Amino acid sequence: MLFDRRMCISSLGFVFLLSLYFFFVLNIPLIAKLVDILDHLERVKLGFIISIPFFFVACLNIIFTLLAIKYIEKGLFIILVLLSSSVSYAMYNYGVIFDREMIVNILQTHSGEAKSYLNFSSFLWFLLTGVIPAVVIFRTDIIHGGLLKGLLWKVFSILASLLVIAVIALFYYKDYASVGRNESYIKKLIIPTYYVSSAGGYFYDAYLKEALPYQTLGEDAVSAAPSENGKHTLLVLMIGETARSMNFAYNGYPRDTNSFTKELGFISFRDVSSCGTATAVSVPCMFSHLSKADFSPEQADHQDNLLDVLSHAGIDIRWYENDGGCKGVCRNIATVEFRPEDGGPLCDGDYCKDGVLLGALEQAIEKTKDKDTVLVLHMVGSHGPTYYQRYPDEFAHFKPDCARSDIQNCNARELMNTYDNTIYYDDYIIGEVVKALNNRHDHWNTGLVYISDHGESLGESGLYLHGMPYAMAPEQQTRVPMLVWLSSALAEEKKLDNACLKHKAETGRYSHDNLFDSVLGLLDISTGLYRQELDIFSPCRHS
């Protein structure tokens, strides 16, 4: 039977074959990118092309030789092969880069999100490139010989690999240096070195590095302006998930993705950049006092954020979570989390559709105290790859859609239809929130701000999903929608000129950096943290 017969091989031979396997099989994403790069070079030497496999195999051989320690090598390489198989699939099929931000995102992924990536394609890839090779390693007897002899052979193998690298450098150093400078992200594609170093860096910072002291911010915050009309302010912040600006009809998209809100008086800010390309970065960043340029997840996690400052000012705040976690932002705030496993007509055991937020909002408004209030609704939005599970069947407005998770196997029209249906459905949710706020206009000055955490790639340039390093990320992943709706009572109370705000929204450039100060300004919170130049409402307020 298959695998019943044990195989024997020397440690050096095993490491060399493993190096070949990692380069020619598990590094398919790297090879594909190298082929694309070489294809676009005006001049390329044949010898340089031939040298590339030798160079990478030699480098991997050195690394694996150092890791090939008797008694632990089998377990270590089995784990490495299985992990690398999964990484290879995601990189090749979705264009995902496993940097430190992606490692954080993966570790914060809930079970429902993880299951959405399981499909026949991923199973087959993992079986063929991960499980079967792991079984082969397990069934192989690796022969080391004596301690001294084994050590000498290791030294010989490393020196031989270094010699290969040196010869290649002698003839083609300029070619490697040129490609390395112009395509610096190539190192991020090398399996397993980059994802292992990224994971190592994360675990060092998270568990070994001395934690920063917690910094309280905005304790001086107070509500500076009493209401002139006798009403308190009720502001709803809706945090979208994976919604990209270019698929909003408000921003020139030819499809009616915003048909539920187009008559409600929303203002769309057309040019808004996200802080990151993954929820684990963007959500903490947009609520942080830190700018994108200065943002550090570790620092943000050890200081107060916008919600804490609002709380210091006496604002009543509640967070409603439907996207698997607030990424630490709501740690000090009353939180209601929707658990898919609890069931219900809008929950399937893995996710709850955003309609669950509407009933919770109604209850929240009824329970609000007689004070200024902020309600945060964190939406599951357009989270992929199972876009078809984000909306009820009656909201499949664009057809045919793509009812599968291996979205790279859908045609472009089906995939775009499915994604647009998620935008269409969440536009309905946003519209229903406005209706709920309008029903309370006698008691409240009401307003709504919607902004997405990041965008999404839908096959453009061969990329899918999100999470690319920001410097490399396409516009589809970094341009996000931001919508503002203000009741006439709130606009009048805050002395806001809607015509001015619409002009700014159409012509200005904004980012997640604006959220912190804009919310403080809109709620008339006085604090030394406030920066008027970042408040999107400030230029349009008249005295």
Closest by CA position to 91, among listed 27, 25, 19: 27
Q: 69-72 long-range CB contacts below 8 Å, 24 or more apart?
A: 70/11, 70/142, 70/144, 70/150
pTM: 0.86
Q: 258-261 long-range CB contacts below 8 Å, 24 or more apart?
A: 258/423, 258/427, 259/424, 259/427, 260/424, 260/427, 260/428, 260/430, 260/431, 260/432, 261/427, 261/430, 261/431, 261/434, 261/483, 261/485
CA–CA dist 485, 210 (Å, integer): 44
Q: Collect all residues with Cβ–Cβ distance below 8 Å to 319 and sequence separation of at least 6.
A: 307, 326, 329, 330, 333, 334, 335, 336, 376, 378
Contact 327, 235 (CB under 8 A): no
CA–CA dist 344, 351 (Å, integer): 11
SS3 at position 450 = strand
Retrieve residue 370's tokens. Answer: 């007689």
Residues of the chain where predicted confidence (pLDDT) is lower than 50: 1-3
Contact 294, 273 (CB under 8 A): no
Q: Please give the full DSSP string across 155-178, using - where no structure is assigned.
A: HHHHHHHHHHHHHHHHHHHHHHHH
Pairing assessment for the beta strands 316-321 and 267-269 based on DSSP bridges: unpaired
Q: Please give the full DSSP string across 258-286, using - where no structure is assigned.
A: TTTTTTTT-EEE--EE-S-SSHHHHHHHH
Most distant pair of Cα atoms in the chain: their distance: 89
Closest by CA position to 447, among listed 243, 251, 236: 236
Owner of token pair 């002395």: 495
Contact 227, 233 (CB under 8 A): yes
Phi and psi at 490, nearest 5°, equal -70, -45
SS3 at position 241 = coil
Q: Which domains does the chain have, with CATH numbers?
A: 7-207 (no CATH), 222-540 (3.40.720.10)
Contact 281, 453 (CB under 8 A): no
Contact 265, 502 (CB under 8 A): no
**CA distances in angstroms from 33 to 86, 185, 190, listed in the order given:** 18, 10, 11
For residue 8, give the H/E element and its range.
Answer: strand 7-10
Owner of token pair 């805050």: 494
